[in-house]
Amino acid sequence: MGAPENRKYTKTHEWISIEGDIATFGLTDHAQSELGDITYLELPEVGDPVKAGDAFGVVESVKAASDVYSPIDGEVVEVNSTAVDGPDVINNSPYDDAWLVKVRMADPSQLDSLMDTSAYDEFESNQ
Amino acid sequence: MSENLKNTPLVDRHIALGARMVPFAGWNMPVQYEGVIAEHNAVRNAAGLFDLGHMGQFDVTGPDALAFLQYTTTNDLSNLNPGEAKYTLLSNPDGGVIDDLIVYRKPEGEAGYMVCMNASNADIDVAWWEKQAAAHPEFDVNLRDISADTGMIAIQGPNAQAITAKVTDADLTSIGDFSWANGSVAGVPAKIARTGYTGEDGFEFYCDIADIATIWDGLMAAGGEHGLVPVGLGARDTLRLESRMPLYGQELGMDISPYEAGLGWAVNLNKGDFVGRERMAEVKANKPTRKAVGFKYVGKGGAPRTHYPVAIDGQEIGEVTSGTFSPTLGENIGLALIKSEYAGVGKPLQIIVRGKPVDATQVKTPFYKRES
């Protein structure tokens, strides 16, 4: 599956879509496929800060636990509790229903270092 | 791949089936094909096929084959009839465990025993046995590591027998639990054992390594209409854990007594002397200070995993040996080795998951038992 257009991507396989000063985070199809059956998701609470390069959540499959990283600084304004209650949505709909958190960005220029869709597709195909 | 991994003869089939391959005990093995949960459920509800080419096999023959195995392992093998098998432990002098094993007495008309060993321990086991034989020349035995010449696969699940029946001339109904017999499978000679590591009915096949792909292909072709799927090491682990079968290196080790691990049933202190007997008898008489217990989560949190600390009121009392999200039960389960005074069905535990305590309660095991 090619990654959707109009989003940014990290080397740790998160996607970010931007609307105004709000960034929405999720995991890419490559990430969910590598993890396998996802059974648990832990996310921050509304109001929690996130920091570029730091883990803001944990996703677990049957076999392993992995951190989910924020590429930017900001504050959590919304959390997808449906995904927490039924984390297999990440396997089934990584780019749509399985958004994880919405963050009010502190410094949108931090997005500049992230990959666009074609750069990520190329990065991912070399993984 | 940086490591020098060994491949089984089935590696190309795994890759063609879409398997994700991982290094395991020096082998390049499939961890999953379609997905751990789907494969797990297929074994519980239909059937699964496992490549066990990484497992080791050891042949013990000679006039003192039984006496040698009695001396080096914990269970009493003296009452095995030809064609019968038993679970036993290869013990060290300190009363710990070098490996857990299945010993098969050869079928009628063949001499001696075959032992199935864990992949991660096979070389260690063989070296240990050779050392024991050298130290005890009174045992007249012939020892042979036949791992490299022996193919092994398993079919497990409620449909395992129906599928196998389509490709064998053996009377499967005459092969009881923990027994084996010779038969033709998919046209090649094999030993068919009603043993396994999933908690389901099923068979393990041992054959000349040159024939293993023939058996795999024959079973895959015969099993399609019975829901047979290939199953990787991921589901093998969740299946065995639900059935509370120990995994060496987690529930068992050089410094864990079988009486602590809840495997006292695999030790017979009355069968005569054996390696580690004295120390095991002491542990049993003094009551083990640690005990393996089963638990499930009451609270919410990430899955329990090996080496996670276990606590009561903030005080560490042991650690998780194995844990997983249980596909059959839909909840988090695990085994922990804890201080004995805290053990008891219904008693609480806290599993420390990434620094956060998650409430758990001790439960009876196995977590899952098939209806017979």
Please list every residue in chain A whose beta carbon sits closer than 8 Å to the beta carbon of residue B238.
62
Q: Does residue B213 sit in helix, strand or coil?
A: helix
A5 within 8 A of A119, measured Cβ to Cβ: no
CB A45 within 8 A of CB B44: no
How, if at all, do strands B180-185 and B188-193 pair? antiparallel
Q: Report whether pLDDT(A1) > 80.
A: no
Q: Are B261 and B338 in contact (CB under 8 A)?
A: no
> pLDDT band at residue B108, thresholds of 50, 70 and 90?
very high
Q: Check if the beta carbon of residue B210 is closer than 8 Å to that of residue A38.
A: no
B61/B106 Cα distance (integer angstroms) = 10
Helix (H, G, I), strand (E, B) or coil at B208: strand
In angstroms, rounded to a whole number, what is the distance separating the alpha carbons of residues B253 and A1?
44
CA–CA distance, A10 with A70 (Å, rounded to integer): 9
Q: pLDDT tens digits for B243-270? A: 999 999 999 999 999 999 999 999 999 9
Is the confidence at residue A63, as pLDDT, over 90?
no
According to DSSP, the β-strands at B56-61 and B113-117 are antiparallel
Q: Are A62 and B31 in contact (CB < 8 Å)?
A: no
Question: Using CA atoms, how far apart are residues A117 and A3, in angstroms rounded to an integer?
Answer: 6
Contact A37 B36 (CB under 8 A): yes
- Of B70, B103, B119, the C-alpha closest to B276 is B70
- pLDDT band at residue A126, thresholds of 50, 70 and 90? confident
pLDDT digits (tens, 9 = 90+) for B70-107: 999 999 999 999 999 999 999 999 999 999 999 999 99
Radius of gyration in angstroms for the set of CA atoms belonging to chain B, rounded to a whole number: 21
Amino acid, res. A62: V
Asked if A61 lies within 8 A of B305 by C-beta distance, the reply is no
Which residue of chain A comes nearest to B353, CA vs CA?
A65
Cα separation of the two ends of chain B:
44
* A8-106 carries CATH number 2.40.50.100: yes
Q: What tens digit of pLDDT does each residue of B134-169 get?
A: 999 999 999 999 999 999 999 999 999 999 999 999
> Residues A9, A119: contact at Cβ < 8 Å?
yes
Q: Which residue of B has its CA nearest to A87?
A: B302
Domain ranges of chain A: 8-106
Closest-CA distance, B39 to chain A, in angstroms, reads 11
C-alpha distances out from residue B338 to B220, B309, B355, Å: 43, 10, 18
What would the two tokens of residue B197 be?
């590591």
Q: What is the pLDDT of residue B18?
A: 97
Q: Is the peptide bond between A44 and the residue preceding it cis, with omega within 30 degrees of 0? A: no
Secondary structure (3-state) at B62: coil
**Could you give the residue ranges of the DSSP H alpha helices within B1-121?**
11-16, 36-45, 65-72
A114: its two tokens: 């992230």
Chain A's closest residue to B238, CA to CA, is: A62
Q: Decide if pLDDT at B2 tops 60.
A: no
Q: How far is B325 from chain A (nearest CA, A)?
A: 6
Domain architecture of chain B: domains with CATH: 11-53+149-242 (3.30.1360.120), 289-363 (2.40.30.110)
